[in-house]
Amino acid sequence: MSVEEISFGPLSLDEVTESSLGWSGGAAHIEYVADAVKRSQLGETDMIAGRNSINEVICYGGADYSTEVGSAKLWMLIVREELRGQGIGTKLFEALETAALSRVDRVFLHVETHNEGAKRLYERIGYIVEKSDTESWYELDAEGERYLYEAEVFVMARAIR
Ligand SMILES: CC(C)(COP(=O)(O)OP(=O)(O)OC[C@H]1O[C@@H](n2cnc3c(N)ncnc32)[C@H](O)[C@@H]1OP(=O)(O)O)[C@@H](O)C(=O)NCCC(=O)NCCS
């Protein structure tokens, strides 16, 4: 599949099911994505999906306008594992930044300090490390128990106009 065949547009709530997005995470994650899509209906986020020629979602990500005035936080960016490394993530960034352009001047994101591949990609696109920080969120362990995951992250940002 070539990058040109992918069409980008808003992720809709009826696509946020385990059968269509199960490749990207478990039930709790799908629920989190559904919440983000509902927030897009209130204007707090943009959730963008890339679809292949048979309309399957093969990547998605979001821009959250509620965390900092004048900025969008890009988050949850993910490309189906077997399709990574072909430029799809770069196109997903372009689609999210295009959506954010009408609302904010700056986009930023958090990347775990050990995620060197993703950090290299963001630097290539033009993001610059502003600072280090810590972030925490709930994950499920192998027994399905919820635990608080704490991560060291770089805050990376880019002016979009
Ligand atoms: C990060 C991610 C969205 C990039 O999507 P992509 O389609 O692979 O990106 P592109 O093809 O446009 O760019 C490839 C670059 O992504 C980076 N990358 C990160 N993880 C990668 C992976 N598993 N496979 C290939 N490239 C990866 C590399 O820097 C690569 O650049 P290189 O050619 O210099 O090595 C994707 O790899 C992904 O879904 N990773 C898992 C989830 C994740 O880590 N999200 C980021 C959280 S901040």
Partners of 64 in the β-ladder: 45, 73
| pLDDT per residue as tens digits for the range 75-118 | 999 999 999 999 999 999 999 999 999 999 999 999 999 999 99
* Alpha carbon nearest to ligand 1 atom 1, residue: 118
| pLDDT per residue as tens digits for the range 107-155 | 999 999 999 999 999 999 999 999 999 999 888 889 989 899 999 999 9
Question: Whole-prediction pTM value?
Answer: 0.94
**What's the CATH number where 27 sits?**
3.40.630.30
Q: Which domain holds residue 131?
A: 3-159
HEC secondary structure over 115-128: CHHHHHHHHHHCCE
Ligand 1 touching residue 79 (CB < 6 A):
yes
Ligand 1 touching residue 121 (CB < 6 A):
yes
Domain count for the chain: 1
Examine the pLDDT at 1 and tell me if it is beyond 90. Answer: no
